[in-house]
Amino acid sequence: MYYSIMDSLCQDTLLAVEQNSNALTYLQIGACHNGRNKGFFHSKNSDDYNKLGTAIGTNTHLKRLMIDNLSNNVTLGSTDATGFYDGVRRKSEEN
C-alpha cells in the first residue's frame, strides 16, 4: 500500500501560507481535511512543519490558527520543532 506523506490539498495549503495568500485566513494544523477546502494541514514529514512554521511567522493574512493533536501525527526533529514553534510564536505576538 502506498502512503503519501502529504496530500495535494495540504500541499496547496502550505503553498498558500508560504505565498501569504489573502484567500487563506484560517489554518487548522494536524487535522484531516474534508477533501474540499484549503486551510487544513497534515503531514508525516517533520520538515514540512518547519516550512509551515516559518511561513506562519511571516504571513499577514492568517487570523485564526488551530493546532489539533499534532503529537499524534508526526515526531518533530529539534530543528523542525524550533522552526515550527518560533513561527507560531511570532504570529501569536502580533495579536
Residues 24 and 13: their CA atoms lie apart, in Å, by 8
Read off the C-alpha cell for 37: 477546502
What was the pLDDT predicted at 85? 81
**Each residue of 12-22: pLDDT tens digit?**
899 999 999 99
**Each residue of 46-55: pLDDT tens digit?**
888 899 999 9
Question: Mean pLDDT throughout 38-64?
Answer: 88
Q: What is the DSSP string of 4-63?
A: -SS-HHHHHHHHHHHTT-TT--EEEESSPP-SS-SSEE--S-HHHHHHHHHHHHH-SS--
pTM for the full predicted model: 0.81
What was the pLDDT predicted at 68? 78
Name the residue ranges covered by the structural domains of the chain: 1-70
